[in-house]
A and B are shown apart, each in its own frame.
Chain A
Amino acid sequence: MRPDRSEAYPLHRREVVQSLLAERGDMLVVAGLGAPAWDVTAAGDTPLNFPLWGAMGGAVPLGLGLALAQPSRRVLVITGDGEMLMGIGSLATVALQAPGNLAIVVLDNERYGETGMQATHNAAETDLAAVAAASGIPVSGVIRNETELVAALPQIHDGKGPVFFNIKIRAETLPLVLPPKDGELLGDRFRRALSESDRQS
């Protein structure tokens, strides 16, 4: 384990997510539990976000079900490395369905942020982008700096999916920006906003 190296990574999670969502258009966003949900909310709480407060390991399969139901809409899953590790098999499930409209981004600080910043397996030799590629996801890569992030944004927003990027981010503890925690409200407002935007388009 190299538990300290991520403290020096140049990319900051809130800025990364701000970049991912700055021109989101009518994109549907699923956020994995913990800091990714706070990051997505810090970029703007909107009904077309579905932030999870639990269901660890479920962000990618939830995004897959959404992408299969809404093939004309871009679906972006933003989750953490610990959450991705818990649902790692879902990358094979995504590869098999191969939805062209699904992008998955992992914010990888090599830590379990909500439980005391303990090292994840990624702090050692585990390479999530390699796992995604070996699972059969056709576009997969690692992003380590601003240049690589800017270069990958078109693929994340519009590239033929499924697309997977593991973004190495600095291990840092930031102020909480919490979305609503009422799951029924989150689901209902998402469905309502989706059907309203479908009617307008």
Chain B
Amino acid sequence: MTVSADKSWPDEIFQTILRHDIRQVAYVPDAGHSRLIDRCLENADLVTVPLTTEEEGVALLAGAWLGGDRGLLLMQSSGVGNCINMFSLTRVCRLPLLILVTMRGESGEFNPWQVPMGQNTAALLTTAGIEPSVVDDSQDLARTVDRVAQSVFEKRTAAAVLISQRILGVKSFEE
């Protein structure tokens, strides 16, 4: 497991979401999203909303869309499990929903408690009607987010970009 040398990808994602006119960004913090969250919090044109649990974000962005705002939901892979019932709102109302998931629990994971969700994130999203795209090379991230965002907002679909631990690095408690 190698840590990607390229650390500019959060800034590239940030520029991409601005181009897609996203206004509300909801998140439960994750170390892998910290730089992107900071960029969003610094930007006065965005409404950046910390959540107490990820399913709040699914409902929040449903309300945002009803009010005319595009949204983005940031979470760690464990948070996908918290959202499952709330995704019925997305599906029944055919709402656009764009999620960026930072992965835990992949091969090399230090914490076994992350593995049950991390190993099943893509399958659970697929079952819930959210199309996952797994990215494991930071060079591909911004263009994947761009492509997926275009599909979400132009075709009113629900999709998630899963950012692999190959990009994020594996968390160690020994550092």
Contact = CB atoms under 8 A, between A and B. Distances in A.
Interface in B4-53: 23-24, 26, 47, 49-53
Nearest to B62: A62
Contacts of A30: 63
Counting chain B CB atoms within 10 Å of each CB, the highest count among A62, A64, A93 belongs to: A62
Contacts of B1: none
Nearest to B47: A68
Given A65-B60, A90-B56, A183 B66 contact: no
Counting chain A CB atoms within 10 Å of each CB, the highest count among B50, B62, B86 belongs to: B62
A62 B59 contact: yes
Contacts of B123: none
B3 interface: no
Interface string A165-183: 0000000000000000001
B69 interface: yes
Contacts, number: 121
Given A30-B63, A195-B68, A55 B53 contact: no
A61 B56 contact: yes
A67 B64 CA distance: 8
A41 to B, nearest CB: 17
Interface in B71-102: 71, 85-86, 88-89, 92-95
A3 B67 CA distance: 39
B168 interface: no
A65 B97 CA distance: 13
A34 B15 CA distance: 42
Interface of B: 23-24, 26, 47, 49-53, 55-69, 71, 85-86, 88-89, 92-95
25 contacts: A30-B63, A54-B88, A54-B89, A55-B88, A57-B55, A57-B59, A58-B58, A58-B86, A60-B59, A61-B60, A62-B63, A65-B65, A67-B63, A67-B67, A68-B24, A69-B23, A89-B51, A89-B56, A90-B59, A96-B49, A97-B49, A184-B92, A186-B93, A190-B66, A194-B66
Interface of A: 28, 30, 50, 52-70, 87, 89-90, 92-93, 96-97, 183-184, 186-187, 190-191, 194-195
